[in-house]
Amino acid sequence: MGIAEQQLSDEAQYCADTFNGAIASAAVSAAWEIGLLDELERSGRVGIAEYATASGAHPDVVRAVLVALSTRRIVTLDPARTEAATGPGFDDAYRTKGFFYWLTRGCGELLTTLPGKVLDADRQGDFVRRDSRAISVACRNIARTFFDPPFRELLKDTDCSVVADLGCGSSDRLIMLADLMPQIRGIGIDVAAGAITVSKEAIADAGMEGRISLVQDDVLNLAPREEYESVDLVTCFLMGHDFWPRENAVTMLRRLRETFPNAKSLVIGDTCRSTGVDGPQHPMFTLGFETVHAVMDQYIPTLEEWSGVLAESGWRIADRRMIDLPAFSFIYRLAPA
C-alpha cells in the first residue's frame, strides 16, 4: 500500500510529526546559518540548483533541508522538488529562528548525549558541553526580536553614561545602546570565550572599539575593577537564572550594589520557570529551556520566586514589562532601595 492510501491514526500522525519536527528544527538552524532562510525571506522563493551553485552548497543537502522545512509548512516545494517558496508557516519560523538555533546548534550536543546525562554515575566532572558561540548568536536574535523593543521603552527616560552588561553574550545590547545614546560607554562582561570572540567581532564591525570594552570574568564572583565605579546602569539579560538558587540570588543582587556603587538602575530581563502548562500545551522555547537547565542542574525560578528575592535584594522595582514570547519572561527596572 502506498503512503497516500495509508490512513494514519491521529496518534500515529502525532508521533510522526514529533520525529519530523526534530529534523525540521535542525533544518531551520541550518537554513538560517547558510543564508537560505534570509534568501527566502528576501525573495519568497529559491531555485535549488541556482542557490547551490551560487553558495557552493551541495544541492541534495539543500533539497533535504527544504523538504524537512516543508513537513512543517515553512516552505512549499514544486512537484519536481527543484524550487521552494515560502509557506504559511514561514513568518513564524523566521521570527523564532533564534530559538531553533539555540536548541539545535547551541545545545545540540547536550541533547544528543542526553541518555548519558541521566544517571547520577554519569553526571561527574565537566559532563555538559554547549556551543557558546552559537548560544550568543541565538540569544542576539531572540533578544533583538523579543526583549529589546520593551527594553528600549523601559529605558526611555533613563539618563546614563556608563553601562555594564552582565553575561553580555554577543554585546549586541551594548552596541544598540551605544548607537542610541552617543554619550555612553559600555563594558561587556562574560565568562565564555566563545561569547567574547563573537563580541569582539561585533564591536569591531560596529566601529565601537573606543566605546565598548570587554571583560572575561565570572559575574557570580566579579573581581573588583576601578572602571566599575563609573557605571550608572547595569543590565543583565537571559542569565539572571544563573544567580540562583535563592540564597545565592539574594547575595548576588546585594553584592551588585557594592561592585557598582554608583549604579542608578539595574535592568534584569529573563525567562522564568513555567507554571500551569501541561503536556501538549507547552509554548515555543519553554520545554527546551527547562530541559536543558535541568540537565545542567541549573535551577530556574518562577516569576513568584523572583518577586520574593527582589524584595530582599537591596533593590526596589521601579518599572517592569512582561513578555509573551519567550513565555513567562519579564524585564524589571530596579533602583537602589
Ligand X SMILES: C[S@@+](CC[C@H](N)C(=O)[O-])C[C@H]1O[C@@H](n2cnc3c(N)ncnc32)[C@H](O)[C@@H]1O
Contact residues for ligand X, defined by CB under 6 A: 132, 135-136, 139-140, 143, 167-169, 173, 190-192, 195, 218-220, 237-239, 242
Using an 8 Å Cβ cutoff, are 323 and 142 in contact? no
Tell me whether residue 57 or residue 206 sits nearer to ligand X (CB atom). 206
Q: Which residues of 221-230 are buried (b: 16+ CB within 10 A; e: fewer)?
A: ebeeeeebee
CA dihedral of 255, 259, 262, 265, whole degrees rounded to 10: -50
Cβ 318 to ligand X shortest distance, Å: 20
Cβ 99 to ligand X shortest distance, Å: 12
Cis peptide before 245 (omega within 30 of 0): yes
Please state, in angstroms and as integers, the Cα–Cα distance from residue 47 to each residue in 68, 92, 290, 318, following that order. 16, 22, 38, 52
Cβ 263 to ligand X shortest distance, Å: 17
Tell me whether residue 66 or residue 203 sits nearer to ligand X (CB atom). 203
Cβ 166 to ligand X shortest distance, Å: 7
- What is the maximum alpha-carbon separation in the chain? 75
Q: What is the three-class DSSP state of 230?
A: helix
Query: Which residue's CB atom is positioned nearest to ligand X?
Result: 169
The C-alpha cell that represents 200 in the structure block: 569582539
Name residue 263's amino acid. A
d(CA 240, CA 257): 15
Burial class (CB in 10 A: 0-12, 13-18, 19+), 121: exposed
DSSP-assigned letter for residue 157: T
Cβ 78 to ligand X shortest distance, Å: 38
Tell me whether residue 5 or residue 324 sits nearer to ligand X (CB atom). 324
DSSP string, 32-72: HHTTHHHHHHHHSEEEHHHHHHHHT--HHHHHHHHHHHHTT
Tell me whether residue 237 or residue 244 sits nearer to ligand X (CB atom). 237
Burial class (CB in 10 A: 0-12, 13-18, 19+), 266: buried
Cβ 41 to ligand X shortest distance, Å: 21
CB atoms within 10 A of CB 246: 15
Cβ 20 to ligand X shortest distance, Å: 28
Tell me whether residue 191 or residue 284 sits nearer to ligand X (CB atom). 191
Tell me whether residue 169 or residue 301 sits nearer to ligand X (CB atom). 169
Cβ 139 to ligand X shortest distance, Å: 3
Cβ 215 to ligand X shortest distance, Å: 9
d(CA 141, CA 19): 26
CB atoms within 10 A of CB 200: 15
